[in-house]
Chain A
Amino acid sequence: MSLTGLFLIVFLVVHCSINSLMFLNDGGLFFNEAAHFMASNILIRTIEILLFLFLIIHILQSVAITRQNMKARTISYSGTSATATSKWYSRSMGILGSLILVFLIIHLKDFFIPSRFTARLGLDNNGTPDMYSEVKGAFQNPAYAMIYIFSMIVLAYHLLHGFQSAFRSLGVYHKKYTPVIEFIGIAFSIIVPAVFAAMPVYFLLKK
C-alpha cells in the first residue's frame, strides 16, 4: 500500500505541474505542447503503464486489507467514541479511496482518453492537439466543475492520512524527521488538491 501510494503521490506532482501551465495566459499553447509531449513520448508512455499497474495494485491491496480487517471484528460495539482517539479521515480511507476511484473513472473517460486518442481533438494555432479547449469546455459546466472541486477535497483528506501513514508503514519514525515528514504531508495534501481545484474555478471565472 505504502510503496504504491508513494508512487501515486509522485505522479500527482508531475500531473499538477503540467496542468498548472493552463494558468499561463497564452490561450493554452504551452499547455497543449506539454500535454502532447506527455502523450507521445515513449518513456512517459512506459511509465504510464507502470502508473496504471501501481494504481490497480493499490486498489487490490486496499480491498485485501479491508476484507482482512473486517473479519477481525464481526460484532461491533453498541456505543463507540472513536472520535476521541483518532481522526475521521484516518478511519475512512476506504470510502475516500472509493470516491476517488469513481472520480478517476469520470476523469479518465473525459480527459485521458481524448488526450491519448488525439484524433478527436481540434488543433490550436500551433497545430498541436487542442487539449486546452477540451478542458475549458468541460470546466465551464458548473455541475461538472463542482464534481471536480468535491473530488479534490476528498483527495486532500485521503492524502492527509495517506502521506504520513505510508512512511509509518515503511517503518520510518524519527523524533526529528517524522514531524518534518508530517509537515510536508499536510502541506502537500493542501497545496496539490488546491491547485487542481483552482483549474475548474479558473475556467468558471473566465467564462
Chain B
Amino acid sequence: MRLTLKVWRQKNKSDKGGFESYQLNNVDTHASFLEMMDVLNEQLIHENGTPVAFDHDCREGICGSCSMVINGRPHGPLKGTTTCQLHMRHFNDGETITIEPFRANSFPVLKDLVVDRSSFERIQQAGGYISVVTGSAPEANNIAVNKVDSEKAFDAAACIGCGACVATCKNGSAMLFVGAKISQYALLPQGHPERNERVLNMVAVMDEEGFGGCTNTGACEAECPKEISVANIMRLNREYISAKLSVQKE
C-alpha cells in the first residue's frame, strides 16, 4: 500500500518543531505500525536524513513504551490496542496518516515522537508500593483475598502506564492511571495499612506534576489500550475523600 505520513519532527526539548510529510510506496498490510515506522526510518537513512525518534520496547503490547497519536487518537483508531499491535491493514491505500507525540505539559516532548513520561514514575514513587520485609515468600493462604476483589485488582494492575489516558483527555488528566494504581492496592488486604497516605501522596504529586482534573468525559477508558475502567477513577475519588476525612495531623 501507498501512504503519505505527516510526522511531527522536533530536534530537542526547546525546538519549536513542525510537521514533515513523507511518502511510503510499498508498505506491507501485515506490518505493524512500528514496523512501518522502521521502514520509513530505513528510507530516511538511505536518503541521508535523520530517522524519526519514537519509543518502543517489547512490541507485544505489554510494556507501555510505544506512544504516538495517530490521526488524533493515542495508539491509533483500534480499540484496546497499543501502537505496536496496530497493523497497517486497518488503514486505506493512499491514506494520509498524521502522527504526533502525546501532548501534555506533564509529558514534554524530548525528540520527534518521544515524550518524557517520568512524571508517572514520580507519582508511583509517592505511594505506588507496599512496605514489606523482603525475604522468603510468605505462605500464600495466610491472607484470604476474595475472588471478586482479586479479579478487580488484577484488572487495575493491567495498566501498563503508557499515558494514553493523559494524551486523550481534554484536561490532560492522569486520573485513570492513578486510579488504576490506587485500586490495585486498595482492593487487596496487603495495601490497606498504607491506603490513606498512599492516595493523599499520589494525588499531591499528580497535582504538582501539572496534570489536569477529571471531568468524567470517559475518553480515557475508550482510548486505554488495556481497557482500564473509569470505575477505578471513582474508587480513587472514594479513597481520596475517605482519606481526607479520616487522616488527622498529629
Give min CB distance, B178 to chain A, whole Å: 14
Query: Which chain A residues lie closer than 8 Å to B231 at the CB level?
Result: 173
Please tell me if A65 contacts chain B, counting CB pairs below 8 Å.
yes
Contact B234 A172, beta carbon cutoff 8 Å: yes
Q: Which of A13-21, A38-46, A73-81 contacts B (4 or more CB under 8 A)?
A: A73-81
Contact B103 A168, beta carbon cutoff 8 Å: no
B218 partner, pick from A71, A85, A169, beta carbons under 8 A: A85
Contact A82 B170, beta carbon cutoff 8 Å: yes
Please tell me if A93 contacts chain B, counting CB pairs below 8 Å.
yes
Residue of B nearest to A167 (CB): B234
Residue of B nearest to A173 (CB): B234
Mark each residue of chain A from 179 to 202: 1 if its CB lies under 8 Å from any CB of chain B, else 0.
Answer: 000000000000000000000000
Contact B216 A85, beta carbon cutoff 8 Å: no
Mark each residue of chain B from 197 to 239: 1 if its CB lies under 8 Å from any CB of chain A, else 0.
Answer: 0000000000000111111111100110000001101111111
Please tell me if A165 contacts chain B, counting CB pairs below 8 Å.
yes
B105 partner, pick from A72, A77, A79, beta carbons under 8 A: A72
Contact B106 A72, beta carbon cutoff 8 Å: yes
Query: Which chain A residues lie closer than 8 Å to B218 at the CB level?
Result: 85-87, 90
Main secondary structure of the interface of A (DSSP, over half): loop
A79 partner, pick from B72, B219, B230, B236, beta carbons under 8 A: B72
Contact B215 A93, beta carbon cutoff 8 Å: yes
Report, as a range, how many residues of chain B touch the other chain. Answer: 35 or more
User: What CA separation (Å) do A156 and B63 show in the bound complex?
Assistant: 43
Please tell me if B91 contacts chain A, counting CB pairs below 8 Å.
no
Residue of A nearest to B166 (CB): A72
Mark each residue of chain B from 23 to 62: 1 if its CB lies under 8 Å from any CB of chain A, else 0.
Answer: 0000000000000000000000000000000000000000
Contact B237 A85, beta carbon cutoff 8 Å: no
Query: Which chain A residues lie closer than 8 Å to B77 at the CB level?
Result: 81, 84
Query: Which chain A residues lie closer than 8 Å to B219 at the CB level?
Result: 82, 85-86
Q: Give me the interface of B with A, judged by CB distance under 8 Å.
A: 6, 19, 69, 71-73, 77, 98, 100, 103-106, 168, 170-173, 210-219, 222-223, 230-231, 233-241
Beyond A72-B173, A77-B100, list 19 extra A-B contacts (CB 8 Å): A65-B213, A69-B172, A69-B173, A69-B215, A72-B210, A73-B104, A74-B105, A76-B103, A79-B72, A79-B98, A81-B77, A82-B219, A84-B222, A86-B170, A164-B216, A169-B216, A171-B234, A171-B238, A171-B241
Q: Give me the interface of A with B, judged by CB distance under 8 Å.
A: 65, 68-69, 71-82, 84-87, 90-91, 93, 161, 164-165, 168-173
